[in-house]
Amino acid sequence: MKQLVNFLYDDLPHLFDDQGIDRTAYDDQVKFRDPITKHDSIGGYLFNIGLLKNLFRPHFQLHWVKQTGPYEITTRWTMVMSFILLPWKPELVFTGTSIMGVNPATGKFCSHLDFWDSLQKNDYFSLEGLLDVIKQLRIYKTPDLETPKYQILKRTADYEVRKYSPFIVVETDGDKLSGSTGFNDVAGYIFGKNSTMEKIPMTTPVFTQAFDADKSKVSIQIVLPLEKEMSSLPDPNQEAISLRKVEGGIAAVSKFSGKPMDDIVQEKEKTLRSNLIRDGLKPKMGCLLARYNDPGRTWSSIMRNEVLIWLEEFSLD
């Protein structure tokens, strides 16, 4: 079994690339089930992989592989896909575990059962699963600009858990989470109002961050391009503007559309924090509002907004 665990670590990252998985490791009559799909042969199993590859261009990330029974191995993964047949190419995110059964007579995999983190019940056929797919087909307008890098570790029905890489922000004091006070000052910095008059490319989203529970201390931030280093950035021309490196970390994120009015943002933050505590996670004090769109140029129904709360700790065990 240890050999099969090591095999999956090597083989599964090729699930959707040109190399593909090694079919010789599977019985001819392999049983595959996820909440909305089932196949009972290696041919059907490979057909399903090919269909996903051609329609959704999946990015598959394997987190871990463990033996969980005498003839059972469990994997944890994230799969991010774009449905290329729709003009807006919506992003679909699934995270979960797969239980791989091993035939003791052949030493090959004879079953593969997927369980999605976003569902309460994962039995086939799951109407909840179908609705989860349909829900993710909605339009969110994300500008074609650089964004902070993150990996999606888990997606539940209520939120995503992301691991953010470090990034640098230029910031100044704001008035409230949904406010725009200070934006012209930080935007001026990247448009050349700095010590060297350097113009820096715009990124998305614009963050507003509340640092305390009462949300009385707020900053408004623009993320700087990832190739920038603190040591090479020009100094701000205004004392009220500062540069800061955000060390990244684990954040829980709730996505929503519409105009991010203050009462809506406050309710989204309250609901997200409540859901995190319900699920046994430890949210830190404060939160961020991420606004991806120019409100003057984007229909409110397709705006992409997110509330983020940093977590004290998180494990995928």
Domain 150-310 superfamily per CATH: Regulatory factor, effector binding domain (3.20.80.10)
- Residue spans per domain, the chain: 2-135, 150-310
Bridge partners, 208 (sequence order):
220, 289
Q: Do domains 2-135 and 150-310 have the same CATH topology?
A: no
The stretch 267-289 carries a mean pLDDT of 97
Which candidate, 147, 71, 145, places its Cα nearest to that of 306? 147
Q: Any idea which residue has 């319900």 for tokens? A: 278
pLDDT higher than 90, residue 139? yes
pLDDT higher than 90, residue 317? no
In the CATH hierarchy, which top-level class contains the domain 2-135? alpha beta
Contacts of 138 (CB under 8 A, 6+ apart): 90, 257
Check residue 207 and give its pLDDT: 98
The stretch 91-107 carries a mean pLDDT of 98
Summary mean pLDDT of the chain: 97
Rounded to whole angstroms, the Cα distance separating 26 from 313 reads 37
Residue 214 pLDDT class (50, 70, 90 cuts): confident
pLDDT higher than 90, residue 273? yes
pLDDT higher than 90, residue 15? yes
pTM higher than the cut 0.85: yes
